């Protein structure tokens, strides 16, 4: 089957905002993702947790509507939505019937540009943020990921959006308003829309809603000098949590697809090496997998697994063995399976307007363009075992940063 041609309109506003519209004619729905250049990496060190609270407050009253009216209006349109503060981005996503898109966009222009940020909503928002932090104590896998990011990535990009208790407790409404003023800006903002929609009329509407939003520079982030460090968190849990990270390439790198292929050999599908050789052959764990952490300037492979404490040492040993032997070679057949998985995911995503909207944001943010389906397919097709092995020789699975959380520390051979 040939690949359908994606119907994409790209429009740049003068203030730096980019509009991406993908028309998917066979659906009745539409989804959008508004992504802003901000996030917890931009928080002051003593106000950790601020970005996430700003996002929550932005949806508690905007434009002429107070908190209750705003929520009721979106609910009455049947909009499903989510907001989140990441490390480098703030994301506002929504899905709805295509006929309600225009009204929904109007409301989001208020949320982004004219949030009321009311002081009376600060305490409820703080209380939610504190409870989210407390809940992390009851979530060992979540805590492992927080520790893993903090151990491997340089501050401030190793931060977790939940912040810390001191930061969340000391945030004032002035902090919230100041952060919004400083970081919620049109430059680097991406509005990505996908569904049964019309590019030209959306361009007009977005110009009208966001065209007069004045630009101002977003202060850059200074990365601290950092040496990744392995660590053990001693805790009496029923499952020892294990996280392993090693460096790879970012999405813009010419070897990005080779890196994806290598991670696929480890972790794509149930015939992948980690699943087959660690879980299936030895029954050491239920969950095991690897994925890529991507930033504009760097990428890393992250491997997570967890097992009962008496199996944990063997689980770590076998997992590391699979990572270390990867550069020794990849079989044609196992790579074919990885390629089949990547290609079918590429096409199946076309059935989801929300997956397309967020996928286009990812492309634009990391690459400054949208990859065509045939380009991605060609990149996947051209992957060979040799290209992957050569990539792994340049970016070998080594110099691991390992974080464990469990009753006993584990041992491993340093490289």
Partner 1 sequence: MPFHHLTLANGLQVLAETNPGALSVAVGFFVRTGSRDEQAGESGVSHFLEHMAFKGTKRRDALQVNRDFDRIGADNNAYTSEELTVYHATVLPEYLPQVFDVLADILRPALRDADFQTEKNVIKDEIARYEVRPEWLVYDISRQRYFGDHPLGRSILGTRESIDALTRQQMLDYFQRRYTSSNIVVSAAGNFEWNDLVALAEKHCGAWNGSNVPARDLCESPCRSGLEVIARDKFKQEYVMMWGPAPAANSPLRYAAEVLDSIIGDYTGSRLYWELVDPGLVESADFSYLDAEGAGAFLLSFTCSPENTASNLEIVAQVLRQVQTEGVTEEELRTAKTRLASREVRGHERTPRRMLSIGDDWIYLHQYRTLDDELAAIDAVDAAAIHQLLEKYPLRDFMTIALGPLSSL
**243 closest CA partner among 137, 142, 368:** 142
| Residue 138 in the binding site for partner 1 (CB under 8 A) | yes
Could you say whether residue 345 binds partner 1 (CB under 8 A)? yes
Burial class of residue 337 (count of CB atoms within 10 Å of its CB; 0-12, 13-18, 19+): middle
Residues of span 22-61 touching partner 1 by CB under 8 A: 26-29
- On the 0-12 / 13-18 / 19+ scale of CB atoms within 10 A, 403 is buried
Strands (E), 51-169: 61-62, 65-66, 80-85, 89-97
Looking at 44, 200, 212, 281, which residue binds partner 1 (CB under 8 A)? 281
Tell me the closest approach of the beta carbon of residue 129 to partner 1, in angstroms: 9
Q: Give the residue with the Cβ less far from partner 1, 120 or 369.
A: 120
Among 139, 166, 204, 212, contact with partner 1 (rule: CB under 8 A): 139
Does residue 341 belong to the site contacting partner 1 (CB under 8 A)?
Answer: yes
Is residue 340 close enough to count as binding partner 1 by CB under 8 A? yes
Give the total of residues touching partner 1 (CB under 8 A): 76
Of 43-51, 78-86, 290-298, 318-326, the window that binds partner 1 (rule: CB under 8 A) is 78-86
Q: Which of these ranges, 71-79, 178-186, 199-207, 292-300, lies near partner 1 under the rule CB under 8 A?
A: 71-79
Query: Which residues are CB-contacts of 68 (< 8 A; sequence separation ≥ 6)?
Result: none
- The least CB distance from residue 49 to partner 1, in Å, is 14
Shortest Å distance, C-beta 284 to partner 1 = 7
Which member of 272, 319, 377, 404 binds partner 1 (CB under 8 A)? 272
Contact criterion met (CB below 8 Å) for 256 and 370: no
Cα–Cα distance measured from residue 195 to residue 202, given in angstroms and rounded to the nearest whole number: 12
- For partner 1, which stretch binds (CB under 8 A), given 122-130, 179-187, 204-212, 358-366? 122-130
Strand-pairing partners, residue 303, are 244, 290
Single residue of 127, 174, 208, 291 touching partner 1 by CB under 8 A = 127
**For residue 156, cis peptide bond before it (omega within 30 degrees of 0):** yes
Report whether 165 contacts 129 (CB < 8 A): no
387 is an interface residue for partner 1 by CB under 8 A:
no
CA gap 230, 306 in Å, rounded: 17
Which residue among 280, 331, 381, 408 contacts partner 1 (CB under 8 A)? 280
**Residue 338 corresponds to which tokens in the numbers above?**
């990885």
Q: How far is the CB of 75 from partner 1 (least distance, A)?
A: 4
List strands edge to edge, sheet with 190-195. Answer: 7-12, 18-23, 190-195, 29-37, 89-97, 80-85
Q: Minimum Å distance from CB 181 to partner 1?
A: 24
Binding of partner 1 at residue 407 (CB under 8 A)?
no
Touching partner 1, residues 81-110 (CB under 8 A): 81, 95-97, 100
In the 8-state DSSP scheme, what is residue 249? Answer: -
Can you say how many angstroms the Cα of residue 112 is from the centroid of all Cα atoms in its chain? Answer: 20
Restricting to residues 301-320, name those near partner 1 by CB under 8 A.
Answer: 306-308, 311
Residues 221-240 that bind partner 1 (CB under 8 A): 236-239
Q: Which of residues 140-199 bind partner 1 (CB under 8 A)?
A: 140
Q: Which stretch, 37-45, 120-128, 173-181, 248-256, contacts partner 1 (CB under 8 A)?
A: 120-128
Residue in the structure block whose two tokens are 């696929």: 264
Distance between CA 185 and CA 42 in Å, rounded?
13
Should residue 201 be labelled a site residue for partner 1 when binding is judged by CB under 8 A? no
Token look-up 């040993």 returns 317
């Amino acid at each position: 089957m040939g690949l359908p041609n994606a119907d994409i309109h790209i429009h740049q506003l003068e203030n730096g905002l980019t509009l991406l519209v993908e028309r998917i004619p066979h659906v009745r729905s539409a989804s959008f993702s508004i992504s802003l250049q901000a996030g917890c990496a931009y928080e002051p060190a003593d106000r950790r947790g601020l970005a996430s609270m700003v996002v929550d407050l932005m949806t508690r009253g905007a434009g002429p509507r107070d908190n209750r009216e705003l929520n009721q209006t979106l609910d009455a349109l049947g909009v499903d939505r989510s907001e989140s503060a990441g490390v480098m981005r703030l994301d506002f996503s929504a899905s709805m019937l295509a006929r309600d898109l225009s009204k929904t966009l109007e409301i989001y222009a208020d949320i982004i540009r004219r949030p009321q940020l009311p002081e009376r909503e600060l305490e409820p928002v703080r209380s939610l943020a504190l409870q989210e932090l407390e809940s992390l104590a009851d979530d060992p896998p979540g805590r492992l990921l927080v520790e893993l990011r903090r151990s491997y990535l340089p501050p401030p990009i190793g931060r977790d959006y939940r912040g810390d208790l001191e930061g969340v407790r000391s945030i004032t409404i002035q902090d919230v308003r100041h952060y919004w003023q400083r970081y919620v800006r049109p430059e680097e903002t991406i509005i990505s829309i996908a569904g049964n929609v019309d590019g030209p009329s959306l361009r007009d509407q977005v110009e009208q809603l966001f065209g007069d939003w004045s630009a101002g520079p977003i202060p850059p982030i200074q990365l601290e000098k950092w040496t990744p460090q392995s660590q053990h968190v001693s805790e009496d849990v029923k499952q020892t949590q294990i996280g392993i990270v090693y460096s790879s390439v970012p999405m813009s790198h010419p070897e990005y697809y080779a890196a994806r292929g290598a991670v696929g050999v480890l972790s794509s599908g149930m015939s992948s090496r980690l699943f087959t050789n660690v879980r299936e052959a030895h029954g050491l764990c239920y969950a095991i997998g690897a994925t890529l952490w991507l930033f504009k300037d760097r990428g890393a492979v992250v491997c997570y697994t967890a097992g009962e404490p008496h199996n944990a040492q063997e689980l770590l040993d076998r997992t590391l063995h699979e990572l270390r032997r990867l550069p020794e070679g990849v079989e044609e057949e196992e790579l074919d399976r990885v390629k089949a998985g990547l290609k079918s995911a590429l096409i199946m995503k076309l059935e989801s307007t929300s997956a397309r909207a967020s996928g286009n944001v990812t492309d634009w943010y990391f690459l400054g363009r949208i990859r065509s389906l045939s380009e991605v397919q060609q990149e996947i097709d051209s992957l060979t075992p040799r290209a992957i092995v050569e990539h792994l020789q340049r970016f070998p699975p080594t110099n691991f940063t390992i974080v464990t959380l469990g009753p006993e520390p584990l041992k491993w051979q340093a490289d």
